[in-house]
Amino acid sequence: MSRPDPATSGRQSADTEVGSVFVSNYPPFSFWSPEALPAVEAALDSAPRPATDLGLYLHVPFCRKRCKFCYFRVYTGKNSDEVGTYLGAMAREVELLAERRAYAGRPISFVYFGGGTPSFLSVRQLSGLVDRARAAMPWDGAREVTFECEPGTLTRPKVEYLKEMGVTRLSLGVENFDDAILEENGRAHTSVEIYRVWPWIEEIGFDQVNIDLIAGMVGETWESWRESVAKTLELAPDSVTVYQMELPFNTRYSEKLLGGNLETPLADWETKRAWHDFAFEELARAGYEVSSAYTMVKDRSTCRFVYRDGVWEGCDLAGAGVASFSHVSGFHYQNAPAWNEYVEALEAGRLPLARAFGTTPDERLTRELILQLKRGRLDPAYFQNKFGVDPVREFAEPMASLEGEGMLRRSGDTVELTRSGLLQVDRLLPTFYEERYRNARYT
């Protein structure tokens, strides 16, 4: 493999710049193309790789409002008929996927309802989707069913239904407890709604409840951040996920920043990392443990992230919904990113495939290594057993570079990120990219 020069890789300015990314895949999405779709079709009609887990991702792209930092494919203002049309198309997509040899009859390891805002749906809308999807790809034996929620969209009957449909991990997008910051950043909910729904969630009971926070929302201060962390600890969720706010190209804040019209200064990376670090320290003081660069858990023996770990360990993923991403037998592919194109394909009985990428064994090795590094540590034996490669030797040069920067430490067979490395892991990951993927646009 051709590796980049570690001395010039992964550098980042101190300011929050437009184009920053959360690394979720490799090679970068910008290298995917329609030309690879015939190979994906062939893979879908072939037997799956043995001993490979399969997950199902369902993209619900509806929101009450679009956050000013949001870069996902979401829609606001869709009426009930349009929502129904979309849900019918997505259910049909799951049915079509279930007919393909690569997916047919395989047990589902995990299900993830993402968005957008899955909790935007009514119980009637949600149950209609779940009934059809579960009939096509049964998930009664799934190890995890995750459902993302926005506090203001929850009702007690809806929370009760989520429990009935088998949700094991409820993830609540709190982001911040300060109403002024929530409003400035375009969030639809207020702090009152957080406290309204929390007793229902506790009383009804889920295996795991996660709270999301974002360090560096516009208007954040040390005082407001300390208050948000303290209020999170008062709720005592099973896990807390902390993200540092990024600005990819297609956000409202990015447009303002590029146009010189963003009046409120953005926190720089050093400040956001300091806030992130403070949250982790406070959580650790309360007994939480590090699960990844973003997540602290109350009890490692009961808190699981089957979706996360499955994706980071190269599972097959059947993604349904507009612009959704999938992975099967070493091929990445993405659905049509436009509403009409997506719906019309499924109404015609076709999968809405838009672009794809076939990976090499070396690329799959690199992908799993950089994603698993987000845990803060690597297990060299895992890579030796799966790929027949010693990652410490294979990636010796970039590891030595990061070690010299104080971001990583090696001791025998142990590879760990330092706290400083953990807090900026996404900046470090391009150090491991092959030459041709370095400095390329990510999306």
Per residue, what are the HEC states of 135-192?
Answer: HHCCCCCCCEEEEEECHHHCCHHHHHHHHHCCCCEEEEEEECCCHHHHHHCCCCCCHH
What residue spans in the chain does CATH classification 3.80.30.20 cover? 29-309
- pLDDT score recorded for residue 12: 45
CATH of 1-26+361-443, one of 3.40.640.10, 3.30.470.10, 3.20.20.70, 1.10.10.920: 1.10.10.920
Query: 292 phi and psi, to 5 degrees?
Result: -160, -175
- Over 90: is that where the pLDDT of 20 sits? no
Residues 190-202 have pLDDT tens digits of 999 999 999 999 9
d(CA 229, CA 2): 43
179 — pLDDT class (breaks 50, 70, 90): very high
Among 6-10, 72-76, 177-181, which stretch is predicted with the lowest mean pLDDT?
6-10
Tell me the angle at which helices 156-164 and 191-204 cross, rounded to the nearest 10 degrees. Answer: 40
Q: Report the CATH architecture of 29-309.
A: Alpha-Beta Horseshoe (3.80)
Instruction: Report the pLDDT averaged over residues 399-417.
Output: 94
What residue spans in the chain does CATH classification 1.10.10.920 cover? 1-26+361-443
- pLDDT score recorded for residue 5: 42
- pLDDT score recorded for residue 6: 38
- Over 80: is that where the pLDDT of 8 sits? no
- pLDDT score recorded for residue 263: 76
Instruction: Report the pLDDT averaged over residues 362-371.
Output: 98
- Over 70: is that where the pLDDT of 10 sits? no
67 — pLDDT class (breaks 50, 70, 90): confident
Of the segments 246-255, 257-266, 378-387, which one has the largest average pLDDT value? 378-387
What 228-234 contacts at long range (C-beta under 8 Å, 24+ apart), as own/partner pairs, is 228/174, 228/176, 228/177, 228/178, 229/278, 229/279, 229/282, 229/283, 230/282, 231/177, 232/174, 232/177, 232/279, 233/282, 233/283, 233/286
Among 192-196, 258-262, 342-346, which stretch is predicted with the lowest mean pLDDT?
258-262
- Over 90: is that where the pLDDT of 83 sits? yes
pTM of the complete model: 0.94
Task: Kindly report the length of the chain.
Answer: 443
Strand 316-320 and strand 353-358: the pairing is unpaired
Tell me the angle at which helices 339-347 and 80-99 cross, rounded to the nearest 10 degrees. Answer: 60
Find, among 26, 19, 8, 57, the residue nearest to 335 by Cα.
Answer: 57
Query: Which one is predicted more confidently, 4 or 430?
Result: 430
Contact partners, residue 263, CB within 8 Å, separation at least 6: none
- pLDDT score recorded for residue 258: 76
Angle made by CA atoms 405, 408, 414, in degrees to the nearest 5: 150
- pLDDT score recorded for residue 9: 37
- Over 50: is that where the pLDDT of 295 sits? yes
- pLDDT score recorded for residue 3: 43
- pLDDT score recorded for residue 72: 82
Instruction: Report the pLDDT averaged over residues 397-417.
Output: 94
- pLDDT score recorded for residue 18: 74
- Over 80: is that where the pLDDT of 15 sits? no
- pLDDT score recorded for residue 291: 97
- pLDDT score recorded for residue 4: 42
Is 410 within 8 Å of 392 (Cβ atoms)? yes
Query: Which residue's structure tokens are 């990428």?
Result: 357
Instruction: Report the pLDDT averaged over residues 76-92.
Output: 97
Residues 205-219 have pLDDT tens digits of 999 999 999 999 999
Instruction: Report the pLDDT averaged over residues 151-167.
Output: 97
Burial of 441 (0-12, 13-18, 19+ CB in 10 A): exposed
129 — pLDDT class (breaks 50, 70, 90): very high
Instruction: Quote the percentage of the chain above a pLDDT of 90.
Output: 85
Query: 82 phi and psi, to 5 degrees?
Result: -65, -40
* CA 353 to mean position of chain CA atoms: 21
251 — pLDDT class (breaks 50, 70, 90): confident
User: Is the preceding peptide bond at 152 cis, omega within 30 degrees of 0?
Assistant: no
Count other Cβ atoms within 10 Å, centred on residue 280.
22
